[in-house]
């Protein structure tokens, strides 16, 4: 299974969507936003894992990526606006592929975009897209804590879509996130109801280099990534596809000490 690139236009920009397709007809579809400076290709294991579970996934290459050919043309102030536009374009493209229910997912900085599509109150330039009523599930992998001005602590309270927040007990970035528990504000702040957290033992911000930064020496945390893929796919299938068996699996995750629901 390989990622295919589809070009879509937003205004005068062209956005490359890395697309992971399931073998058969998609059961649901989701956008994915990569971490700061990274690229969709550095998440191939994650995206292909979702596709293997039946999801059609579209991941834009954001302008802050070191892979982006026009990176130098955009200043820091343009990064957030264009990321919001990119996510909306990915969701629009996915919606045009058929009748699948939609989800929004992201890792690290990208997780803020997914949360915004699910109702979190983020700083938004005039006209920039945020809440998307088509989004029936949000997957926030290793989201940042409150990061004013992009999002204040109270901004997490308005998330309305069913939600999975994933982190690990080694998921720290010294000087920014000194305690992995800071990431759980995205799970703890919204009203209870279809909120889930997966805290994986021994898992760091990059699953040992399996996502975002493949140049890291590891060791690869493959078991943790497989569990994150399974739980997040179940959430999307349960809420975006109305899959009763996936909903039953989500309920069964409550027997796992790494998984909590509120």
What is the reported pTM?
0.97
pLDDT at 252 over 80: yes
| Average pLDDT of the residues in 195-223 | 98
The predicted structure's pLDDT at residue 221: 98
The predicted structure's pLDDT at residue 76: 77
Confidence label for 1 from pLDDT (cuts 50, 70 and 90): low
| Average pLDDT of the residues in 57-80 | 89
The predicted structure's pLDDT at residue 101: 87
What is the percentage of the chain residues whose pLDDT exceeds 90?
A: 91
In 65-162, where do the E strands start and end? 102-107, 135-141
The predicted structure's pLDDT at residue 86: 98
Nearest Cα to Cα of residue 241 among 44, 30, 88: 30
| Average pLDDT of the residues in 42-69 | 96
pLDDT digits (tens, 9 = 90+) for 72-120: 778 777 999 999 999 999 999 999 998 778 999 999 999 999 999 999 9
128, burial (CB in 10 Å: exposed 0-12, middle 13-18, buried 19+)? middle
The predicted structure's pLDDT at residue 2: 77
Q: May I ask the CATH class of domain 4-261? A: alpha beta
Place of tokens 């039953």: 248
What is the residue extent of each domain of the chain? 4-261
The angle at the Cα of 197, spanning 170 to 122, to the nearest 5 degrees, equals: 95
pLDDT digits (tens, 9 = 90+) for 141-173: 999 999 999 999 999 999 999 999 999 999 999
The predicted structure's pLDDT at residue 73: 79
In terms of DSSP H, where are the helices of the chain? Answer: 44-52, 76-95, 109-117, 185-188, 222-240, 244-252
């Amino acid at each position: 299974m390989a990622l295919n690139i589809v070009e879509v236009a937003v205004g005068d920009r062209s956005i490359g969507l890395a697309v992971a397709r399931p073998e058969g007809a998609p059961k649901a579809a989701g956008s994915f936003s990569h971490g700061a400076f990274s690229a969709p290709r550095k998440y191939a294991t994650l995206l292909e894992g979702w596709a293997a579970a039946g999801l059609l996934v579209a991941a834009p290459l954001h302008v802050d990526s070191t892979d982006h050919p026009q990176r130098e043309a955009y200043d820091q102030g343009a990064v957030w606006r264009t990321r919001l536009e990119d996510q909306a374009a990915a969701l629009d493209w996915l919606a045009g592929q058929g009748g699948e229910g939609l989800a929004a997912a992201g890792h690290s900085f990208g997780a803020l975009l997914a949360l915004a599509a699910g109702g979190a109150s983020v700083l938004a330039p005039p006209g920039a897209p945020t809440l998307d009523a088509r989004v029936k599930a949000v997957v926030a992998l290793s989201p940042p804590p409150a990061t004013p001005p992009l999002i204040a602590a109270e901004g997490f309270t308005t998330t309305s879509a069913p939600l999975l927040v994933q982190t690990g007990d080694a998921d720290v970035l010294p000087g920014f996130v000194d305690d992995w528990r800071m990431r759980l504000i995205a799970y703890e702040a919204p009203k209870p109801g279809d909120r889930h957290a997966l805290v994986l033992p021994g898992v760091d911000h990059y699953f040992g280099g399996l996502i975002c930064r493949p140049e890291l020496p590891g060791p690869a945390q493959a078991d943790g990534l497989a569990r994150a893929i399974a739980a997040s796919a179940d959430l999307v299938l349960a809420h975006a596809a109305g899959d009763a068996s996936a909903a039953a699996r989500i309920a069964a995750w409550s027997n796992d000490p790494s998984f909590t629901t509120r």
